[in-house]
Amino acid sequence: MAANDGVPEALQVLLSDELLSPSELFKERSRSHKIPVKGQKEFLPDGSDQQRARLQKSLDEHWTLVAEERVERLGNLVSAEWIPKEKLVKLLSPAGKFWQTMGFSDRGKQCLLPEEALYLMECGSVQVFYKDLPLSIQEGYECLLSPETMTLHQYQVFGHLKRLGYVVNRFDPSQVPSLYERQLNLPLPRDMQSKQLKRKRSQSPGSRLCEKQSATTMEQTTVEGECKGEVQIREPDLGHVAPEQGTTQQTSQDKSMECVANSDGASARNWWTDMSGQAQAAAAQAAAPRWDFSCIVFPDLGSHRANSATLAAPDPSLLPGALEVGECKVAHWLRKLNLKKERLSRRDWERQRERDRYKRDINDDREVRRCRNWMEYLDLMEKRRSQQHKERPAHLWEQKVTPLTHPGQCISHRELLEQISIIPSCDLLEGASRLPWSDKWRICFNVYQPDTVAEFKKSHPGKPYTRLCVCSFDGPVPDLCVIKQLSILSGDVPVTFAVVDHGDISFYCFKEFKLPTDIY
Amino acid sequence: MDWTTTQLVGKSLPNGQDVKCRDRESAITKTDQGNAAKDRTIQISICGSTPLLWRSVDIKQSRDEVGVIGTLIGSLARQPRQNNRLGRPLEILKEEARLLLETGEATDVRHPDKSKKVSESGESHLNAVQLYQARLDRSYEEQCSLALEEKKAVLHRVMDEKQNNHTGNEGPERAVRERLCSLEKSFSFPRSAMAVQLCTARAGFSHCPEELAFLAADWPEPRDKHSEARFRVYKDLRRKGFYLTAAGKFGGDYLVYPGDPLRFHAHFIALCMPMDESSPLSDILTIARLGSNVKKTVLLCSPRDPSDSQVEGDVVYSSLQWSGMV
């Protein structure tokens, strides 16, 4: 393959013997791109001629593949320049198809990160120049890889995944929403907006909330003044109930229509959150409720379908600000309601009865059914509670030390254990934010699956499939502390460890495992 | 459980292998002695702390003569976007690199051609650029004429076919002849169609980057007891004719192949343990379990202390076997 073809000696440049001559280059244009298949391996060398011949054939194929050089048409190559100071590769001609998933623009110039440039060099898509001379792949490895930019191990993982078609980019911790932000479900600036946008296309968080609410209100109205909200009222710890649940009492008036009519998610959300604040306040101070439940009438759409084609206008004092709500036509809603009587097969019926043995339906309670509004219901509950207290044995409940739970409060072991919380269950992220930070381990890459490449946008990459931490079999195994740190750093995206061992790359991850517990 | 301390290695092999071993031994000693006669050496380039081989001749030579297998880690030139077959560079084990250096087959090129390249700032760099451009121009010209030749050959072939097929009809034949005549004038070979080589190994005419500092990383690494043990085991197994690759996946030090790994399955997982080092039984059980799972025998390899053994450089091999007693 050697061809030094008459280099003037005066130049004193040692040319590699792997350079191809023009005729060889020309021939290479039409070479095969097939890879010979490796045959089945054998167990032991037996010294036979056939075996030797097979080995020779494999070796010949191997050497052909290994010795082959990259030959590309000049027109298919994107040329670029390596800028060592900035640790960047700037493109000198327009980028190719790879631009969809790689590279970035810096002051109007198309740039590639070192690992991207090196990978594209290896793919034969980009020719990188440095001081007007092209870099060989070897020189690419030597200049583009460094501990500050990308180590060889990291590049090996990068290349491995890129070759498989994954979209891989560098991980930037500042792009991950903090735990607090996630809990608040805050829309995030910049790249997180993409998620927001995507979600909006299907269902924006605001509108989803709204829909959910209308769904619950619909349910409520259909069950004819029954109180689904009773759980919230009875339990003292309404504080941590999600706001939309708290509002159900109010929404169960006649706001459901509005909610639906109000298609703008954001404003709808504000409005309901507002309401829920009031609702919580109201429920918290049960002694002096802000709302006079006795005069708030539940709309009843379910049973008397004939005589309620419209709902009366709500009391203006219950509405915020200058909102005007007139009579509401419910005819088209009624048409959507399924008022057919449920017909159960014998088996279904038995199954339901089986289920009901453990679950008490509040609607089975005659006294509850007799309640006409929330006020009466609350009174009833209060009455019962005080009755219950009277029934309790004095020697247990009237002293300083009382039982940890009330009888009947907890149905299962698990509930009981949670209630008394002697052994609090711990989850992987608990306390992670307080751990001392170590620099030894860091997340290197965001990885997106190959099937998302078509829709992938660099400006809005969305949520990665996983994030990668590159390590080596020579190094230590990450301890729990490290795993906690990395997973909190990664947010709600799983962290995978890529272990590089002499060219072999294995991927593994640690998953939190919850031991199965009893269901009831 | 039985501890089998064996010449397992020697025994389990067919005769042919033994012959090969001896051959190998003599080959190695030969290179030890008469290395001065070698006209070329293998160049090991160090990336970070990883020894790499770049030139295909080096890779072939080290496999053929020293039995260095290594792992290819780059994209394959022929089909870069797959992981089944990879291409240059070849990553080699530290032991392989050390063996290459010790047998005198190789030099490590941490500062490749430093003496020459340091001065290459002004004129010589300019020269290099000129040389590169000149090569490119000449390559273009030659490819141009080659393309013309090819086109002509195609037309000639078409003409011949036409002549043979339709002796009566002169029309198409004449058209082809006319095209052939005008070809000389009208033929154009765009520069973008020129084939260029993207060199894999350092090409020579290119500029050598200044930033080689990272190459000067800690290599060869400080040798501790374990790396010494690893090297002695590597050398011993290699001398016995086995081919070795890394066995990180299997939790061992080496995978031991009876023949070239291209054609044969590995039989053993070698685990290097210095003779005087105690290790918990649970570790050994773990690796033995793993070995039986992947149908390979786990070899515990302990180099004998050179001072108190008669045979120097000998390694004791043991394996763990379930005894079958209930």
- With tokens 């409940």, the residue in question is A397
Q: Quote the pLDDT of residue B195.
A: 87
- Closest residue on chain A to B73 (Cα): A503
Of the residues B108, B136, B169, which one is the last residue of a structural domain? B108
Residue among A465, A491, A454, A447 at smallest CA distance from A188: A491
**Shortest Cα–Cα distance, B309 to chain A (Å):** 31
Which residue among B71, B74, B210 places its CB closest to the CB of A502?
A: B71
Asked if pLDDT for residue B323 goes beyond 70, the answer is yes
Task: State the burial class of residue B198 (Cβ atoms within 10 Å of its Cβ: 0-12, 13-18, 19+).
Answer: buried
Claim to verify: residue B49 and residue B91 sit in the same structural domain: yes
Q: Quote the pLDDT of residue A114.
A: 93
Asked if pLDDT for residue B222 goes beyond 80, the answer is no
Q: Which DSSP letter does residue A19 get?
A: P
The token pair at A208 is 């989803």
Residue B256 has phi, psi (to 5 degrees) of -110, 120
Question: For residues B197 and A135, is the Cβ–Cβ distance under 8 A?
Answer: no
The token pair at A226 is 């029954």
Asked if pLDDT for residue B5 goes beyond 50, the answer is no
Query: Regarding predicted confidence, which is higher, B209 or B159?
Result: B159
Domain that holds residue B297: 225-320
Q: Which residues of B are catalytic?
A: 257, 265, 296
Question: With an 8 Å Cβ cutoff, are B203 and A164 in contact?
Answer: no
- Closest residue on chain B to A135 (Cα): B206
**Shortest Cα–Cα distance, B152 to chain A (Å):** 16
Q: Which residues of B touch A66 (CB under 8 A)?
A: 56, 59-60, 72, 87-88, 90
Distance, in Å, from the CA atom of B306 to the CA atom of B301, rounded to the nearest integer, reads 15
CB contact, 8 Å: B115 with chain A? no
Which residue among A17, A44, A68 places its CB closest to the CB of B77?
A: A68
**Shortest Cα–Cα distance, A443 to chain B (Å):** 20
Peptide bond into A205 cis (omega under 30): no
Peptide bond into A8 cis (omega under 30): no
The bridge status of strand A445-448 relative to strand A104-106 is unpaired
**How many other CB atoms are found less than 10 A from the CB of residue B145?**
14
Claim to verify: residue B273 and residue B178 sit in the same structural domain: no
Question: With an 8 Å Cβ cutoff, are A70 and B197 in contact?
Answer: yes
Task: State the burial class of residue A520 (Cβ atoms within 10 Å of its Cβ: 0-12, 13-18, 19+).
Answer: exposed
Of B1-5, B32-36, B172-176, least confident by mean pLDDT is B32-36
Claim to verify: residue B84 and residue B129 sit in the same structural domain: no
Question: For residues B180 and B155, is the Cβ–Cβ distance under 8 A?
Answer: yes
Which of the residues B19, B263, B264, B272 would you substitute to probe the A interface, choosing the one with the greatest number of A C-beta atoms within 10 Å? B263
CB contact, 8 Å: B230 with chain A? no
Angle, helices B94-102 vs B225-239, to 10°: value is 70
Q: Quote the pLDDT of residue B154.
A: 87
Claim to verify: residue B78 and residue B157 sit in the same structural domain: no
Sign, CA torsion B8/B11/B14/B16: positive
| Three-state secondary-structure class, residue A469 | strand
**Would you state the torsion angle of the CA atoms of residues B16, B17, B21, B22, taken in this order, to the nearest 10 degrees?**
-20
Q: Quote the pLDDT of residue B102.
A: 81
Upper half-sphere CA count for residue A444 (Cβ side, 13 Å): 25
Residue B80 lies in a domain: yes
**Would you state the torsion angle of the CA atoms of residues A374, A380, A382, A385, taken in this order, to the nearest 10 degrees?**
-140
B166-175 burial, b if ≥16 CB within 10 A, otherwise e? eeeeeeebee
Residue B218 lies in a domain: no
Residue B219 lies in a domain: no
Question: For residues B76 and B87, is the Cβ–Cβ distance under 8 A?
Answer: yes
**Shortest Cα–Cα distance, B316 to chain A (Å):** 23
Q: Report the Cα A367 to chain-centroid distance in Å.
A: 46
| Three-state secondary-structure class, residue A149 | coil
The per-residue DSSP string of A329-352 comes to E-HHHHHHS--SPP---HHHHHHH
Which of the residues A65, A130, A146 would you substitute to probe the B interface, choosing the one with the greatest number of B C-beta atoms within 10 Å? A65
Confidence of residue B24 (pLDDT cuts 50, 70, 90): very low
CB contact, 8 Å: B125 with chain A? yes
Question: With an 8 Å Cβ cutoff, are B201 and A16 in contact?
Answer: yes
Q: Quote the pLDDT of residue B45.
A: 85
Distance, in Å, from the CA atom of A119 to the CA atom of A156, rounded to the nearest integer, reads 10
Distances (CA, A) of A303 to A222, A337, A342, A343: 8, 11, 14, 17
Q: Quote the pLDDT of residue A110.
A: 92
Question: With an 8 Å Cβ cutoff, are B197 and A130 in contact?
Answer: no
Of the residues B186, B213, B240, which one is the last residue of a structural domain? B213
Of the residues B71, B86, B108, which one is the last residue of a structural domain? B108
| Three-state secondary-structure class, residue A177 | coil
Which residue among A62, A68, A133 places its CB closest to the CB of B205?
A: A133
Question: For residues A377 and A227, is the Cβ–Cβ distance under 8 A?
Answer: yes
Total domain count, chain B: 3
Q: Which DSSP letter does residue A513 get?
A: -
Confidence of residue B14 (pLDDT cuts 50, 70, 90): very low
Claim to verify: residue B124 and residue B102 sit in the same structural domain: no
- Closest residue on chain A to B110 (Cα): A142
Q: pLDDT digit string (tens) for B185-204? A: 778 888 888 888 888 888 76
**Shortest Cα–Cα distance, B14 to chain A (Å):** 7
Claim to verify: residue B269 and residue B241 sit in the same structural domain: yes
Claim to verify: residue B23 and residue B95 sit in the same structural domain: yes
Bridge partners of residue B299, in order along the sequence? B270, B319
How many contacts does A have with B, using Cβ atoms within 8 A? 277
| Three-state secondary-structure class, residue A325 | coil
CATH number of the domain where residue B288 is located: 3.40.1350.10
- Closest residue on chain B to A42 (Cα): B264
Q: pLDDT digit string (tens) for B93-143? A: 988 988 888 877 666 655 444 434 444 456 777 888 888 888 889 888 888
Q: What is the layout of strands, in order, in the sheet containing B243-246?
A: B2-6, B315-321, B297-303, B268-272, B254-257, B243-246
Nearest 5°: CA angle at B27, between B22 and B30?
125
Distance, in Å, from the CA atom of A357 to the CA atom of A354, rounded to the nearest integer, reads 5
What single-letter amino acid sits at A362?
I
3-state secondary structure labels for all residues of chain B:
CEEEEECHHHHCCCHHHHHHHHHHHHHHHHHHHCCCCCCCCEEEEEECCEEEECCHHHHHHHHHHHCCCCEEEECCCCCCCCCCCCEEEEECCHHHHHHHHHCCCEEECCCCCHHHHHCCCCHHHHHHHHHHHHHHHHHHHHHHHHHHHHHHHHHHHHHHHHHHHCCCCCHHHHHHHHHHHHHHHHCCCCHHHCEEEECCCCCCCCCCCCCCHHHHCCCCCCCCHHHHHHHHHHHHHHHCCCEEEECHHHCCCEEEECCCCCCECCCEEEEECCCCCCCCHHHHHHHHHHHHHCCCEEEEEEECCCCCCCCCCCEEEEEEECCCCC
Distances (CA, A) of A315 to A246, A250, B78: 20, 12, 78
Question: For residues A73 and A29, is the Cβ–Cβ distance under 8 A?
Answer: yes
- Closest residue on chain B to A16 (Cα): B203
How many residues are there in chain A?
A: 520
Asked if pLDDT for residue B85 goes beyond 50, the answer is yes
Percent of chain B residues past pLDDT 70, beyond the cut: 71
Distance, in Å, from the CA atom of A377 to the CA atom of A369, rounded to the nearest integer, reads 9
Which residue among A122, A136, A151 places its CB closest to the CB of B80?
A: A122
Bridge partners of residue A470, in order along the sequence? A498
User: Which residues between 247 and 266 in chain B have a beta carbon less than 8 angstroms from any beta carbon of chain A?
Assistant: 248-249, 258-260, 262-265
Give the contacts of A501 (CB within 8 A, at least 6 positions apart): A472, A473, A474, B246, B248, B249
| Residue numbers in chain A where pLDDT is lower than 50 | 1-13, 190-287, 520
Residue B220 lies in a domain: no
Claim to verify: residue B23 and residue B88 sit in the same structural domain: yes
Question: For residues A117 and A80, is the Cβ–Cβ distance under 8 A?
Answer: yes
Q: Quote the pLDDT of residue B169.
A: 62
Q: Hey, what domains does chain A have and what are their CATH numbers?
A: 39-67 (no CATH), 74-150 (3.40.1170.20), 375-420 (no CATH), 432-509 (3.40.1350.150)
Q: Quote the pLDDT of residue A412.
A: 76
Claim to verify: residue B315 and residue B296 sit in the same structural domain: yes
Q: Quote the pLDDT of residue B224.
A: 79
Residue B326 lies in a domain: no
Average pLDDT over residues B178-189: 79
**Shortest Cα–Cα distance, B207 to chain A (Å):** 6
Question: For residues A181 and A195, is the Cβ–Cβ distance under 8 A?
Answer: no
Residue B325 lies in a domain: no
Q: Which residues of B touch A25 (CB under 8 A)?
A: 139, 143, 195-197
Which of the residues A1, A16, A87 would you substitute to probe the B interface, choosing the one with the greatest number of B C-beta atoms within 10 Å? A16
Question: With an 8 Å Cβ cutoff, are B82 and A163 in contact?
Answer: yes
Confidence of residue B168 (pLDDT cuts 50, 70, 90): low
Claim to verify: residue B70 and residue B144 sit in the same structural domain: no
Which residue among B79, B131, B208 places its CB closest to the CB of A11?
A: B131
Question: With an 8 Å Cβ cutoff, are A71 and B198 in contact?
Answer: yes
Residue among B220, B223, B222 at smallest CA distance from B110: B220
Residue A79 has phi, psi (to 5 degrees) of -100, 150
Question: With an 8 Å Cβ cutoff, are B196 and A23 in contact?
Answer: no
Claim to verify: residue B119 and residue B102 sit in the same structural domain: no
Question: For residues A481 and A172, is the Cβ–Cβ distance under 8 A?
Answer: no
3-state secondary structure labels for all residues of A239-305:
HHCCHHHHHHHHHCCCCHHHHHHCCCHHHHHHHHHHHHHHHHHHHHCCCCCCCCHHHCCCCCCCCCC
Which residue among A35, A71, A123 places its CB closest to the CB of B75?
A: A123
Does an H or E element contain A153, and which?
helix A152-163
Which of the residues B39, B75, B94, B138 would you substitute to probe the A interface, choosing the one with the greatest number of A C-beta atoms within 10 Å? B75
Claim to verify: residue B190 and residue B104 sit in the same structural domain: no
Tabulate helix, strand, coil % of chain A (nearest 5).
Answer: 45, 10, 45
Residue A202 has phi, psi (to 5 degrees) of -85, -55
The bridge status of strand B297-303 relative to strand B268-272 is parallel
Q: pLDDT digit string (tens) for B268-313? A: 999 988 888 888 888 888 888 888 888 898 999 988 876 665 655 5
CB contact, 8 Å: B189 with chain A? no
